[in-house]
Amino acid sequence: MTLEQTLPICIAGTWRLGGGERYATCYPATGEPVAWLNAASLDDVEAAVQGAHQAFLHSGWAQRKPHERATVLYRIAGLIRERAEELAQLQRQDNGKPIGETRALVASAAGTFQFFAAACETLEETITPSRGDFVSMSVYEPMGVVAAITPWNSPIASEAQKVAPALAGGNAVVIKPAEITPLLALQLARICEEAGLPKGLLSVLPGKGSVLGDALTRHPLVKRVSFTGGTRTGKHIAHIAADKMMPVSLELGGKSPTIVLDDADLDHAVAGVLYGIFSSSGEACIAGSRLFVARPLYEPFMARLTAAAAQLRVGDPADERTQMGPLISAAHRESVERYVALGLAEGGRLRLGGERPAGGVFDQGYFYPPTILEGLGNHQQVCQEEIFGPVLVAMPFDNEEALITQANDSLYALAAGIWSRDYKRAWALGRKLQAGTVWINTYKQFSISTPFGGWRDSGLGREKGRLGILQYMEQKSLYWGMNDQPLAWAGLETGQ
Ligand code: NAD
């Protein structure tokens, strides 16, 4: 790939230039273009969906035995592993995450394909207890064309979480990656093709979500949408889905509380809170962005946390030692800055950060330092809205009852963290927190075998887990009559 070239995109089994505007995807650490491509056009959306529909009907993929589909998914996992370094470096350039993180995302994507290959070949259909002269069964069928709409913060891992179970379930997939991070989805399509996925079964449509994602969601041949992104977009998609009576899963935003009880192991808590908010520069749906610390511990804990946060290595994402790279774009950094200014206007104080770093690489990219605000109440806007950057708001709490009320006082309910040496106490608190995931004495750890998703404005439905494949399948019941005689109701005499 050279910079002068315009990258082709994958539409209905062919690689060609998109019909939309030419644009560059840029390296957030320097602002320099990484690649040029043409966005997809609305005609491309139509071609991709029609192609996916035809491939679904005629390629034989849906009819392949589960272990045959699994073979292709295992091959995809293998090819991702073979090209792991190349993919991780490309991802680093596409979205600016430190290389250590992009390697982990690529490894996670390979693991996801492997996991859903295994889930596919071991998925059981059931014979249900019979309540008459029949044998009753419950089986699963593919849905058809699935749209996978993904955000910019964890490409390839986000795409794998949708594409792998959807393909495992026998479907065709059209990916709409975030406009500014299209490169890994395109690479994934190349790998799928090489692994033997039938042509047309997977397309990738880079470009504007409000145009392409919207058209894809509305398309009558799209039978399911799996979306990860912001809550406002998710709600828009949910409305369209309601009109189409189409199932949809929504992985949305968060404003997760992380709680340090007075009996916490402070070494673990400091490390976990830091990782929870500042890894990925806070550009994570599950970022632990609201910190509640037991009042007697507040000052000593904050002193240690602040000192450790000040030592985090912000800088060049290509450097193996870098812990925080740049934010995704200039516009996003400005949005983070506006939130910090708002926190100060709301009466908050800066304990750390709050100013763009300057000099060297910092003058080119969209860097922002670890930032800690305090002196604010949970009801204030910076505590209620998702900032999606390296900004932690810290608050002391006096008793667990008040803590639970505040921790749960959010439109979001994606994740939460608890730091305590007392497992019974943590268990009781964990059960009272409203969140799709609660981490106890750890944070931001993931397993593909554990379902993930949010409550309330953080989303609908679950991804991952062995049964994640069923999100992409329709359930069907079959009854097999075993009567020797015709059904009695008709009152027919038998001929015997
Ligand atoms: P976004 O909602 O702006 O965009 C997400 C995707 O939706 C992109 O591909 C975009 O092009 C597309 N899109 C935009 N408008 C659309 C429309 N009208 N119809 C259909 N598609 C449309 O989100 P973002 O800024 O890319 O990502 C950040 C958000 O994603 C944050 O809120 C973050 O919390 C959330 N997120 C959630 C999870 C999770 O698993 N819960 C994971 C990662 C990110």
Q: Is the CB of 206 under 6 A from ligand 1?
A: no
Q: Is the CB of 228 under 6 A from ligand 1?
A: yes
Protein residue closest via CA to atom 20 of ligand 1: 213
Q: What is the pLDDT of residues 296-335, one digit of tens each?
A: 999 999 999 999 999 999 999 999 999 999 999 999 999 9
Gap from CA of 38 to ligand 1 centroid (Å): 21
Looking at the annotation, which residues are catalytic?
A: 251
Protein residue closest via CA to atom 39 of ligand 1: 251
Other CB atoms within 10 A of residue 364 CB: 14
Say if strands 248-251 and 257-260 run parallel, antiparallel, or are unpaired. Answer: unpaired
Gap from CA of 329 to ligand 1 centroid (Å): 15
Protein residue closest via CA to atom 32 of ligand 1: 230
Q: Which of 108, 149, 249, 255 to mutate to test the pocket of ligand 1 (most atoms within 8 A of CB)?
A: 149
Which token pair is 37?
Answer: 């491509």
Rounded distance, CA 157 to CA 274, Å? 22
Rounded distance, CA 197 to CA 202, Å? 8
459: β partners: 251
Gap from CA of 236 to ligand 1 centroid (Å): 11
Q: Is the CB of 222 under 6 A from ligand 1?
A: no
Rounded distance, CA 399 to CA 410, Å? 19
- 3-class SS of residue 376: coil
Q: Is the CB of 226 under 6 A from ligand 1?
A: no
218 in Cβ contact with 248 (< 8 Å): no
Q: Report the candidate in 122, 118, 113, 123 with the shortest Cα–Cα distance to residue 75.
A: 113
Gap from CA of 434 to ligand 1 centroid (Å): 22
Gap from CA of 244 to ligand 1 centroid (Å): 21
* Strand residues in 124-267 grouped as ranges (E): 126-128, 134-142, 145-149, 172-176, 202-204, 222-228, 248-251, 257-260
Angle, alpha carbons 366-370-372 (nearest 5°): 130
Gap from CA of 231 to ligand 1 centroid (Å): 8
Q: Is the CB of 76 under 6 A from ligand 1?
A: no
Q: Is the CB of 214 under 6 A from ligand 1?
A: yes
Rounded distance, CA 352 to CA 457, Å? 30
- pLDDT recorded at residue 3: 66
Q: Report the candidate in 262, 264, 237 with the shortest Cα–Cα distance to residue 251.
A: 237
How many Å separate Cα 344 from the centre of its chain?
Answer: 31
Protein residue closest via CA to atom 22 of ligand 1: 209
Atom of ligand 1 nearest to the CA of 251: 41
Q: Is the CB of 150 under 6 A from ligand 1?
A: yes
Which stretch of DSSP H or E encloses residue 480?
A: strand 473-481
Counting every residue, how long is the chain? Answer: 496
Q: Is the CB of 148 under 6 A from ligand 1?
A: no
53: β partners: none
Cβ contacts of 315 within 8 Å, gap of 6 or more:
322, 324, 325, 361, 362, 367
Q: Is the CB of 191 under 6 A from ligand 1?
A: no
Rounded distance, CA 235 to CA 170, Å? 27
Which ranges of the chain have pLDDT less than 50?
A: none
* Strand residues in 129-209 grouped as ranges (E): 134-142, 145-149, 172-176, 202-204
Q: What is the pLDDT of residues 307-316, one digit of tens each?
A: 999 999 999 9
Q: What is the pLDDT of residues 365-384, one digit of tens each?
A: 999 999 999 999 999 999 99
